[in-house]
Amino acid sequence: MSKNNDELFKNVISHAKEYGFVFQSSEIYDGLSAVYDYGQNGAELKNNIKTYWWKAMVQLHENIVGIDSAIFMHPRIWKASGHVDGFNDPMIDNKDSKKRYRADQLLEDRINKYERDRKTDKAVKLQLEMDKALKAEDLGRLRDLIIEHEIACPVSGTRNWTDVRQFNLMFSTQFGAMSEDSEEVYLRPETAQGIFVNFLNVQKTGRMKIPFGIAQIGKAFRNEVIARQFIMRMREFEQMEMQFFVRPGTEMEWYNYWKEARLKWHLALGTSAEKYRYHDHAKLAHYANAAVDIEFEFPFGFKEVEGIHSRTDFDLSQHQQFSGKKMQYFDPEINQNYIPYVIETSIGLDRMFLLTLMNAYEEQDLSEGDTQDSRVVLKLHPCLAPVKAAILPLTKKDGLPEKAREIMDRLKLDHPIVYEEKDSIGKRYRRQDAIGTPFCITVDHQSLEDNTITIRHRDSMKQERVAINQLDRIIGDLVSWKNLLK
């Protein structure tokens, strides 16, 4: 990470804490590694991202429905899905610092460094070699690449590495009160399996016809070998996944459809297209016949935010075999029974949250002449902003708070609004800028006379005088989901 990027990232992390977006979990006990809590503004922002996804996927598609399956599932599900035997990361330890790393990530960081240093040939070559080694599950070759490219441990600075070993990422716990008859269960490492095992329940009760999708948002848990980069890689995180069931043979058509549709969803937020790229997988997971990542350019390089995978009929076939229950669909159009093929879209909610925060964060110098001034503003899309408007009486007297409360009562049923009367109006504007509130509504003495207020716009800082009875419409228009979902 360059110094500027490093500093920017640190500033965003402190901002997230200072303004109630993200806190380290169990902070008063010195924290729990790679686990985070969302604060008062973070929870709102996260909910708004979920709503954006749910509306785009479920509400706007007649053939997609949403479910909410349990985190605990029968342990055989993870045997069937391949996670018990195959959900591993290649890890390597530095013998001096005793720190553990993911071998592929050490190499990826080196590739990013080559790209930054404009050593494109080296970057491409190493990427190809790494992909080949991962595909062949050649752990020895991964280690050789780390040695050949002189990758040192960031902590000890030495190249004294152990062998590369596989490490299973699932958390397990005991199910049942008595230790003798308790059973080992796993905390789900992905939400997808909850969809697969309910495939027929939903298809039958919803009378769904192929092609159709099942979506869900929920927690997933992975005992990540190395957890770092804030909420980028967590041990407890949230996924927004959709499995789209299609007729075999049509999967590539749908794969391409979802690949495009999902990038559009990201870009609708107004993010520059240059910040995104596709990364086609060279090493396909055991279940996939095509896979692509949507990557975003974070300060620490391009990283995956969302995956689109063509999962074939792998999962449903496995569940049919392991459960002994038929997982087939009768297709009336071709008069045939078959196990559907599946296209999955899987986005990490926390990564999307980080991306949104990074993208919105701006430090602005507003100095004019001799007057020094600056602000930090979160230029969040109004639909995502935690607070839609702040009602600010100019002073605490003369009936202004009462008038302001009247406006607040009128708007709060439709929107999350805050009321603030402490500190100067300038300070109050800055606090709202820092959490991304699109509107500040100032109530002054004129408001008492002619029922008008000033609206101050977050990004332009321009103010305009409008009638109070226009407020519902103005705010309603700006925060309407219609602006995002067309």
Give the binding site for ligand ATP (CB under 6 A): 190, 222, 224, 233-234, 237, 239, 304-307, 346-348, 350-351
Whether 127 and 208 have beta carbons less than 8 Å apart is answered as no
Nearer to ligand ATP, 305 or 453 (CB): 305
User: Which phi and psi angles does 222 have, rounded to 5°?
Assistant: -140, 130
We find the least distance from the C-beta atom of residue 358 to ligand ATP, in angstroms, to be 14
State the minimum distance, in angstroms, from the CB of residue 297 to ligand ATP. 15
Asked if residues 434 and 378 have their Cβ atoms less than 8 Å apart, the reply is: yes
Q: Which is nearer to ligand ATP, 131 or 304 (CB)?
A: 304
Rank residues 222 and 259 by Cβ distance to ligand ATP and give the closer one: 222
**Closest CB 308 distance from ligand ATP, rounded Å:** 9
Shortest Cβ distance from residue 237 to ligand ATP (Å)? 4
Closest CA to 379 of 268, 231, 230, 271: 271
Q: Given the complex with ligand ATP, which of 347 and 479 has the nearer CB atom?
A: 347
CA angle 312, 313, 314 (to 5 degrees): 90
What distances in angstroms separate CA 416 from CA 87, 402, 408, 469, 479, one per listed residue? 42, 19, 10, 18, 11
β-pairing, 439-443 vs 417-419, is: unpaired
Residues 227/169, Cβ–Cβ less than 8 Å: no
| Closest-CA residue to 186 (of 167, 170, 198) | 170
Beta strands in 373-460 (DSSP E): 374-378, 389-393, 417-419, 439-443, 452-457
- Whichever of 190 and 251 has its CB closer to ligand ATP, that residue is 190
Task: Identify the sign of the CA torsion 133, 135, 136, 137.
Answer: positive
Closer CB to ligand ATP, 348 or 438, in the complex: 348
In the complex with ligand ATP, the residue whose CB is nearer, 188 or 222, is 222
User: Minimal distance in Å, beta carbon 248 to ligand ATP?
Assistant: 23
Is the separation of the CB atoms in 142 and 164 below 8 Å? yes
Tell me how far, at minimum, the Cβ of 192 lies from ligand ATP, in Å. 9
Amino acid at 148: E
CA angle, 146 then 122 then 1, to 5°: 70
Q: In angstroms, what is the minimal distance from the CB of 219 to ligand ATP? A: 11
Q: Give the integer Cα–Cα distance in Å for 383 and 455.
A: 18
- 87 or 329: CB nearest ligand ATP: 87
CB of 210 to ligand ATP, least distance (A): 24
Residue nearest to ligand ATP (CB): 348
**379 HSE (CA, 13 A, CB side):** 13
**Closest CB to ligand ATP among 355 and 404?**
355
Least distance CB 109 / ligand ATP (angstroms): 13
- Kindly state the helix (H) or strand (E) to which residue 360 belongs, with its residue range: helix 349-360
